[in-house]
Amino acid sequence: MIKFMKEILDKLLSVILSLLPLSPFADAIDNLSQLPYLGYLNYFVPVGTLLKIGTAWLAAIALFYLYSVLARWIKLIE
């Protein structure tokens, strides 16, 4: 039963993903991966880690503002 539900969920998610547009940054990312000195730059400035931290920070800020709007809407705060 669980396997059947997983298959249905996988098909539903694949349909949803097929409706979304492709990334406009795919070509730029492919061009960046061909740079010979990018690995050395990533050694000193961990870009991947910075992106993860930035994403978590933006998610936290978005949740704060969402909570703030909802709290104002149901009159918990002014």
Are 47 and 41 within 8 A, CB to CB? yes
Residue 71 has pLDDT above 80, yes or no: yes
Which pLDDT score, from 0 to 100, does residue 72 have?
87
- In this prediction the pTM is 0.48
Q: What is the pLDDT of residue 77?
A: 67
Q: How open is the CA angle 69-70-71, to the nearest 5 degrees?
A: 90
Cα–Cα dist 71/65, whole Å: 10
Type of residue found at 56 = A
Q: Residue 7: its pLDDT value, please?
A: 93
According to the model, what pLDDT value does residue 57 have? 97
* % of the chain surpassing 70 pLDDT: 97
Mean of all residue pLDDT scores within the chain: 88
